Amino acid sequence: MRKNIVAGNWKMNKTLQEGIALAKELNEALANEKPNCDVIICTPFIHLASVTPLVDAAKIGVGAENCADKASGAYTGEVSAEMVASTGAKYVILGHSERRAYYGETVAILEEKVKLALANGLTPIFCIGEVLEEREANKQNEVVAAQMESVFSLSAEDFSKIVLAYEPVWAIGTGKTASPEQAQEIHAFIRSIVADKYGKEIADNTSILYGGSCKPSNAKELFANPDVDGGLIGGAALKVSDFKGIIDAFNA
């Protein structure tokens, strides 16, 4: 059975002290609850070693927002998958649209990152999605299929270890949200190409998250779709009341 997941992506926000406080607050908010989904927080690198031991691992997973496409060496400023894993973190976001757009991450680079993450026992949350011009040209399926090439070189066994996140780039931080119908349509398409590549069983067991202005007010409607298995949450992950409101969409 595939998992329902609500993952927070803090992006480049929160000092170390603020991040520790946010993680503690979330931990307390979930202390007496049993969420009906896996909860993950993906923090800046500097927070990982401090936040991981602070939270109840049975309720909150911790991940990085990126890792390097090299195992180690003279790559000043980079952080390897092995380093991420050494903090106790279990997840890593790869291929986020901001990494693709601002830092030129390609299909080939992301293929290396995914392999290194898996080799170090991390679960990649692999992001795919189209920009506004591509959506307006009705090319979203083509774009998403091309981006999936980074993970389609994996064995079926390795592919079954990853989580996918569809993010309509035109709906990130813009206040626009894909309608539940648009979200379901492309999530179903993504699942269909996974089935074509790896078979129906693996496709049925792959969690596909929605990422694009998901809030407590629209989470339940989005998550009600049969192929939407949760959310990759940006802005709303920075405030515990909002993030918990999205987690609670699975409890109602």
**CA–CA distances in Å: residue 4 to residues 1, 13, 232, 249:** 10, 25, 11, 11
Is residue 234 annotated as involved in ligand binding?
yes
Please state the domain count of the chain.
Answer: 1
Is residue 175 annotated as involved in ligand binding?
no
Residue 252 has a pLDDT of 65
Q: Enumerate long-range contacts of 75-84, CB under 8 Å, 24 or more apart.
A: 79/45, 80/116, 80/120, 81/113, 81/116, 81/117, 81/119, 81/120, 81/122, 82/116, 82/120, 84/45, 84/48, 84/117, 84/120, 84/122
Q: What is the pLDDT along the chain (252 residues), one digit of tens a residue?
A: 899 999 999 999 999 999 999 999 999 999 999 999 999 999 999 999 999 999 999 999 999 999 999 999 999 999 999 999 999 999 999 999 999 999 999 999 999 999 999 999 999 999 999 998 999 899 999 999 999 999 999 999 999 999 999 999 988 777 777 899 999 999 999 999 999 999 999 999 999 999 988 999 999 999 999 999 999 999 999 999 999 999 999 986
Residue 173 has a pLDDT of 72
What are residue 128's DSSP bridge partners? 166
Q: What is the CATH number of the domain that holds 8?
A: 3.20.20.70
Q: Rounded to whole angstroms, how far apart are CA atoms 150 and 96? A: 13
Point out the catalytic residue in the list 47, 65, 96, 98: 96
Active site residue 187: no
H/E segment holding residue 208: strand 208-210
Q: Rounded to whole angstroms, how far apart are CA atoms 163 and 83? A: 21
Q: Rounded to whole angstroms, how far apart are CA atoms 248 and 252? A: 7
Residue 208 has a pLDDT of 98
Structural domain including 147 reads: 3-248
Active site residue 111: no
CA 127, distance to chain mean position in Å, is 6
Point out the catalytic residue in the list 65, 105, 111, 167: 167
Is residue 235 annotated as involved in ligand binding?
yes
Is residue 95 annotated as involved in ligand binding?
no
**CA–CA distances in Å: residue 162 to residues 91, 207, 209, 213:** 9, 8, 12, 23
Q: What is the amino acid identity at position 176?
A: K
